[in-house]
């Protein structure tokens, strides 16, 4: 089913993004004089990613329930957090 493939890719992209954020944090820990704004930005990315993952879990439930209005809404929310 195409929906399963799309959802799988969505969660895979979250995993890849989480890995990239962790890698960036580890690299910056080894550096001196990293601006606090950079670290704050990475922390904000963590927060955004957690919100997206929660919304994606809810999205899956709405897909299972056939609640297409909420599916559309959640897709928009997830995309909006990426902007």
What is the C-alpha separation between 16 and 40, in angstroms, rounded?
Answer: 20
The answer to whether 42 and 28 have CB atoms below 8 angstroms apart is yes
**Domain range enclosing 74:** 2-82
What is the C-alpha separation between 13 and 19, in angstroms, rounded?
Answer: 10
Q: Mind listing the pLDDT tens digit of every residue in the chain (83 residues)?
A: 566 889 999 999 999 999 999 999 999 999 999 999 999 999 999 999 999 999 999 999 999 999 999 999 999 999 999 88
pTM above 0.75, yes or no: yes
Return the residue matching tokens 């994606």.
Answer: 56
Query: Domains in the chain: how many in total?
Result: 1
What are the structure tokens assigned to 21, written together? 């954020």
CA dihedral in degrees (14, 76, 59, 19; nearest 10)? 10
């Amino acid at each position: 089913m195409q929906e399963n493939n799309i959802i799988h890719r969505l969660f895979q992209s979250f995993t890849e993004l989480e890995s990239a954020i962790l890698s960036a944090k580890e690299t910056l820990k080894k550096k001196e004089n990293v601006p606090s704004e950079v670290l704050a930005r990475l922390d904000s990315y963590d927060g955004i990613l957690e919100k997206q993952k929660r919304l994606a879990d809810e999205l899956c439930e709405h897909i299972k329930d056939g609640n297409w209005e909420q599916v559309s809404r959640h897709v928009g929310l997830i995309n909006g957090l990426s902007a």
